Amino acid sequence: MSEAKTGQDRLFDALTTKGTAFTHAERRKHGILGLLPTAEKTLEQQVEHSWAEFCTRREGLDQHIYLRALQDRNETLFYRLLREHIAETMPVVYTPTVGEACQRFSEIYRKPRGLFVSYTDRELLREVLGNRPKSRREVDVIVVTDGQRILGLGDQGIGGMGIPIGKLSLYTLIGGIDPARTLPIVLDVGTDNVELLEDPQYLGWRHRRIGDDEYYAFIDEFVTAVHEELPDVLLQWEDFATAHAQPILDRYRDTLLTFNDDIQGTAAVALGALHGAANVVGRPLKDQQIVMLGAGSAGIGVLNMVLREMVSQGISEAEALSRIWVVDVAGLLTDDRTDLSEGQRKFAQPAGRLGGWGLSSAAQLTDVVHNVDVGVLLGLSTAAGAFSENIVRELASKTERPIIFPLSNPTSRAEAHPAELDEWTGGRALIATGSPFAPLRRDGVERQIAQCNNAYIFPAMGLAVTAAQATRVTDDMMRAAATALGDLSPALVDPNSPLLPAWTDVPEVAVRIAHAVALQAVSEGVAPQRSAEQLEERITQVRWTPDYPPA
């Protein structure tokens, strides 16, 4: 918690202020009498006022700027407002609006938040980390990006800082991580975005991205400095390029409390939704033929977790791999291709399996759906409209309840829109998306669409490792999170309900997931021995809530 403050320091510190909620006695006690209007508001009245002001902003970016300014002014009020209006504010604080905020970061920059770790300061990393605000000396969670692959928008350079800020807001809102114990970081290693380099307003280092040798050395120096300065912190990697994401995760996952949300968080929430969908269909994943469009780090991460789940259901790894089909921009991944990474090659189908398909060129998504008894179609390709009407209708002709997840974001990059999928399948598709979409209307009934947002997973993971005092984030901890999420699917009770819980329920869902993850951490020996009851108590103890301390 922040150290005790008095006077104007207390009034103007976003972590300790109550603003107009300071009572007359408190204003005298802290030497701030006369610095505020006479009226004494309750937190509830402040929320009502702030919500009315928020609603005067019609554009998403204007709403985003307003919320960020509120966070800079009064974090308790900010988080209470978000909690009271979680469904309306989630898309503004994070996807899809955060994408535009990253693109225009230099233009809308107002006030410092987090750390800007520049390659030009590589000899001074301990000094940079040591300069974090005094109110954030003890840190539970760091989210770090280098801005190279922001959502589906590509290289945003230093503008990528919008992602760690947004992610950590959700760590607090959903997971209950004390905002004073969070730290967003952007690694400024240059940018290859020519528009940014030529933009006079750009606030980052005006330099092309450094080469891999310098890059990995810098990452190593950064990790070393973080580990020395904050040895117990959870370090989350976010929106790194595919070529860097997996090597970084592989290098540090066994020595640090760390994970990559794009690889592991995306995989866990997708598996959670698939778990619920498979139970609705009555056909377990091990018996499904699964197609993934997209072979980047996120897509391969999802498939690795799906593979482990299929094996846990009783089939061999070889048999599970035979049921997974991956298509990238060049076509189906097959073992005769020479352009595959190690992670991609694992999912390459034997070229001989296509012998009877009558192809004259590389197999595409259309060919796979035509020749395979596909029941699950996933997309992490950022190829807008790639799930065409012909493809979806053929898929729907092969199964009673097709499972179709266009998971790319932002919304403009989705492989298909839910309304299209609903129409082309006659309302039979089980749908989850990567970005928020409006509800569907069929037969006069409104149906919500599940959004496979990583916010179902990473805040719960932060709460779990903080409460359990875990030293590692393991694959089985991620699978435990996915299983717990899938078991909470509303569609298990009503097949017409969404595959994932409503946003209003997500903070409590996070507690359930965190408990399952903490139990898994203890069972694997990466957290101190505690009973289920003790872990439940720990979760309650460490969870921060947006309330003012009593007068």
Poorest-confidence range of 138-142, 152-156, 168-172, 381-385? 152-156
Task: Identify the residue with better confidence: 495 or 430.
Answer: 430
pTM of the predicted protein model: 0.91
User: Residue 112, Cβ neighbours under 10 Å: how many?
Assistant: 9
Poorest-confidence range of 171-175, 359-363, 377-381, 493-497? 493-497
User: Residue 59, Cβ neighbours under 10 Å: how many?
Assistant: 10
Q: Each residue of 21-59: pLDDT tens digit?
A: 999 999 999 999 999 999 999 999 999 999 999 999 999
Phi and psi at 292, nearest 5°, equal: -115, 125
- What are the structural domains of the chain? 1-41 (1.20.1370.30), 58-256 (3.40.50.10380), 262-543 (3.40.50.720)
For 67-77, b/e burial (b = at least 16 CB within 10 A) is bbebbeebbbb
User: Residue 367, Cβ neighbours under 10 Å: how many?
Assistant: 18
Task: Tell me the H-state helices in 388-531.
Answer: 389-396, 418-424, 458-468, 475-487, 506-523
Residue 238 near residue 168, CB atoms below 8 Å: no
Q: Is 126 exposed, middle or buried (0-12, 13-18, 19+ CB in 10 A)?
A: middle
Q: Each residue of 322-354: pLDDT tens digit?
A: 999 999 999 999 999 999 999 999 999 999 999
- Supply 307's token pair: 């593979």
Confidence of residue 3 (pLDDT cuts 50, 70, 90): very low
Q: Is 446 exposed, middle or buried (0-12, 13-18, 19+ CB in 10 A)?
A: exposed
At residue 308, the pLDDT reads: 95
Q: Each residue of 188-242: pLDDT tens digit?
A: 999 999 999 999 999 999 999 999 999 999 999 999 999 999 999 999 999 999 8
Residues annotated catalytic, as ranges: 94, 167
Residue 377 Rama label (left phi>0; alpha psi -120 to 50; beta): beta
